[in-house]
């Protein structure tokens, strides 16, 4: 199931706005020469709160070999310049197991409990925080931070630490500059920013996130700010090397609302 942990990256490439706004994107994911998954992402925010929802399912040969579905949701509110997460939960279903995970936060957005289940077996664990308080407790929140910065300064440069209740990850974004985006598989052509994401798991030579992508192998994505609405969307995400071949996620549909 670890090979589908790239999914959370699809849920957080959208703008932070002072007025209510929403954005939905659909992606086709390909690995090597094969169709791998369909991903739907919905995002909504107002001046106080934010919600991200992602749904994915395997497709094509991948669905025949290893059927997998997942729902991810993060919600929280803005407090001055901080992002306070109030809820994170996920449901995943493979051909073998149904799993759930829920993070429980206090009123200050500090994680204190992790609830999980595998089929009919449930487990609740009190979380012991690391000695240095992390910047976030899920990857999606870090991506929201990066998007807000991009909207303000047109740069994705950012470095944050994530503690998910079990493991600590160091996430670094590097702005690779403005570029003209054009791809025959995407119905968008125009100016974008190329951004590189590096993820490294603490106390491990290679992290188990995103197909064990190391700190030396970036996840490349393109950011585009819509000229009319100011919303930020992602036409394409790619990873040059995975154990199964290169990964490319193409935007196939985009819906924006105010």
How does residue 258 score in pLDDT terms, banded at 50, 70 and 90? low
Paired sense of beta strands 82-94 and 68-79, if any: antiparallel
Cα(23)–Cα(229) distance, integer angstroms:
11
Length of the chain: 258
Domain count, the chain: 1
pLDDT at position 214, please? 46
Task: Read off the pLDDT of each residue in 228-249 and give the average, rounded to a whole number.
Answer: 85
Q: Mean pLDDT over all residues of the chain?
A: 85
Instruction: Tell me the residue range of the domain where 121 lies.
Output: 2-257
Tens digits of residue pLDDT in 12-69: 443 333 467 888 999 999 998 889 999 998 877 778 888 888 899 999 988 988 899 9
**What predicted TM-score, i.e. pTM, was given to this entire model?**
0.82
Q: Report DSSP letters for 124-174, one per residue.
A: EEE----SS--SBSSHHHHHHHHHHHHHHHS---EEEEEE-SS-EEEEEEE
How does residue 141 score in pLDDT terms, banded at 50, 70 and 90? confident
Cα(217)–Cα(54) distance, integer angstroms:
25
Cα(74)–Cα(182) distance, integer angstroms:
31
Q: Per the structure block, which two tokens stand in for 32?
A: 């090597």
Tens digits of residue pLDDT in 146-190: 877 887 888 999 999 999 999 898 999 999 999 999 999 999 999
The answer to whether 214 and 206 have CB atoms below 8 angstroms apart is: yes
Both ends of the chain: CA-CA distance in Å? 36
């Amino acid at each position: 199931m670890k090979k589908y942990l790239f999914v959370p990256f699809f849920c957080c490439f959208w703008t932070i706005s002072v007025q209510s706004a929403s954005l939905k994107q659909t992606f086709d994911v390909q690995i090597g020469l094969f169709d791998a998954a369909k991903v739907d992402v919905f995002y909504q925010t107002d001046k106080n709160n934010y919600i991200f929802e992602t749904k994915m399912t395997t497709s094509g040969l991948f669905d025949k070999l290893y059927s997998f579905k997942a729902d991810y949701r993060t919600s929280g509110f803005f407090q001055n310049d901080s992002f306070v997460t109030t809820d994170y939960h996920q449901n995943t279903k493979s051909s073998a197991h149904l799993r759930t995970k829920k993070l429980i936060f206090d009123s200050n957005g500090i994680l204190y409990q992790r609830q999980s289940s595998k089929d009919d077996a449930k487990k609740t664990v009190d979380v012991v925080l690391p000695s240095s308080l992390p910047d976030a407790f899920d990857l999606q929140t870090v991506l929201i931070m990066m998007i807000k910065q991009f909207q303000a300064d047109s740069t994705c440069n950012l470095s944050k630490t994530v503690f998910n209740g079990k493991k600590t990850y160091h996430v670094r974004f590097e702005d690779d500059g403005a570029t003209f985006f054009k791809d025959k598989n995407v119905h968008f052509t125009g100016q974008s920013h190329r951004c590189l994401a590096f993820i490294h798991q603490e106390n491990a030579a290679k992290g188990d996130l995103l197909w064990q992508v190391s700190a030396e192998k970036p996840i490349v994505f393109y950011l585009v700010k819509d000229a009319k609405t100011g919303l930020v969307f992602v036409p394409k995400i790619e990873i040059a090397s995975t154990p199964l071949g290169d990964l490319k996620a193409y935007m196939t549909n985009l819906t924006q609302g105010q």
